[in-house]
């Protein structure tokens, strides 16, 4: 599943390519989008901005209309110059927005809807989001309050977008390793200093991974949490079960937890219980 850094980079790239441009072509396989586009044409509108909100992408058009997309597990936005060959088959296209210069294609996007300004302000999923870790106005006090209130394991609490928006499974394990926190301790049982450190590390790691990609906006973009330039040392613990900890040499362990049985990776020595 694309995490907050991937969605943020995608929105930045889409914004650079599309903002202040007039839509020359719009297509979608979603009947609800097509119906709105037929009733209130998207072609001819100006794309005012593209931004991310947690794991949501919001494309705002003139006339008070916003396209919200969510990538779930397999969706991605790609940007191409007009006439450039796509890297994915046309059968995977779900949404297409073209201007005179660029074509933005949403491949395998599972969630897409047009929202009026009023609907956007009242949207239940957006209103319930916790503070966005990549937002310049990130509310640290509110994030700490929400995290402190969670009774579940800290690893599961970090995946709850109502606590803080933007963290996925990979970042979850990496954040807790860098913070030195056991992923299975109940969030509410941790001292404020520990929770503050988790929040600080979360912001630092996500912000370090939002440099714009060279071209494609897919989930294959490399992610680094170790700050190492070695391509074989990109991550501390995620996906490294049984391998030696990069800090102490102890074998990395893994366990699935939570409703969705998401895997956690940790070092039992660097993250003591």
pLDDT of 96-132, one tens digit each? 999 999 999 999 999 999 999 999 999 999 999 999 9
**pLDDT for 213 beyond 70:** no
pLDDT of 217 higher than 70: no
Does 158 lie in the same domain as 112? no
**Residues in CB range of 112: below 8 A, 6 or more apart:** 28, 30, 33, 67, 68, 69, 94, 95, 106
CATH of the domain at 51: 3.20.190.10
Check residue 81 and give its pLDDT: 96
Mean pLDDT of the chain: 93
Same structural domain, 109 and 9: yes
Are residues 170 and 222 located together in one domain of the fold?
Answer: yes
Q: Is the pLDDT of residue 166 over 90?
A: yes
Which residues are catalytically annotated? 2-3, 55
State which of 106, 127, 148 marks the end of a domain. Answer: 127
Of 71-80, 185-194, 242-251, 254-263, the range with the lowest mean pLDDT is 254-263
d(CA 173, CA 266): 7
Strands of 65-70's sheet, edge to edge? 47-53, 56-61, 65-70, 111-116
Whether 165 and 255 share a structural domain: yes
Overall domain count for the chain: 2
Average pLDDT, integer, range 202-224: 69
State residue 211's pLDDT score: 65
The predicted pLDDT at position 215 comes to 37
Confirm whether 271 is domain-assigned: no
CB atoms within 10 A of CB 147: 25
78/20 same-domain check = yes
Q: pLDDT tens across 112-122, in order? A: 999 999 999 99
Q: Work out the number of other CB atoms within 10 angstroms of the CB of residue 113.
A: 15
52 located within any domain? yes
Residues 187 and 79 in one domain: no
Q: Do 245 and 161 share a domain, yes or no?
A: yes
Here the tokens at position 252 are: 């990395």
Tally of helices (H runs) and strands (E runs) in the chain: 8, 10
**For the residues of 42-87, what is the DSSP string, one character each?**
STT-BEEEEEEETTEEEEEETTTEEEEEE-TTT-EEEEEETTPPPS
Specify the CATH number for the domain of residue 185.
Answer: 1.10.8.50
Q: How far is CA 101 from CA 24, 87, 114, in A?
A: 10, 18, 23
* Percent of the chain predicted with pLDDT > 90: 85
Residue among 134, 117, 127 nearest 48 (CA): 117
Residue-number span of the structural domain to which 167 is assigned: 140-266
pLDDT of residue 261: 83
- Predicted pLDDT at 54: 93
- Position 1 scores a pLDDT of 60
Of 59-73, 133-147, 208-222, 251-265, give the lowest mean pLDDT range.
208-222
pLDDT value at position 146? 97
């Amino acid at each position: 599943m694309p995490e907050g850094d991937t969605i943020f980079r995608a929105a930045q790239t889409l914004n650079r390519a599309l903002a202040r441009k007039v839509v020359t072509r719009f297509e979608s396989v979603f009947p609800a989008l097509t119906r709105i586009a037929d009733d209130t044409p998207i072609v001819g509108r100006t794309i005012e901005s593209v931004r991310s909100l947690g794991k949501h992408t919001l494309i705002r058009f003139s006339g008070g209309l916003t396209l919200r997309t969510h990538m779930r597990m397999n969706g991605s936005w790609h940007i191409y110059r007009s006439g450039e060959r796509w890297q994915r088959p046309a059968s995977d296209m779900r949404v297409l927005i073209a201007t005179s210069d660029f074509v933005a294609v949403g491949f395998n996007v599972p969630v897409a809807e047009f929202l009026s300004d009023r609907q956007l302000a009242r949207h239940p999923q957006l209103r319930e989001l916790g503070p966005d870790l990549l937002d310049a106005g990130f509310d640290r006090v509110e994030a700490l309050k929400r995290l402190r209130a969670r009774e579940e394991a800290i690893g599961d609490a970090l995946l709850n977008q109502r606590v803080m928006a933007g963290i996925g499974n990979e970042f979850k394990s990496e954040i807790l390793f860098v913070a030195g926190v056991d992923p299975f301790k109940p969030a509410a049982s941790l001292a404020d200093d520990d929770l503050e450190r988790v929040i600080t590390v979360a912001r630092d790691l996500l912000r370090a991974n939002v440099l714009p990609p060279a071209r494609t906006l897919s989930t294959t973009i490399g992610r680094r949490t170790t700050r190492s330039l070695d391509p074989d040392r990109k991550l501390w613990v995620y996906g490294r079960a049984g391998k030696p900890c990069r800090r102490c040499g102890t074998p990395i362990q893994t366990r699935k937890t939570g409703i969705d049985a998401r895997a956690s990776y940790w070092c039992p020595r660097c993250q003591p219980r």
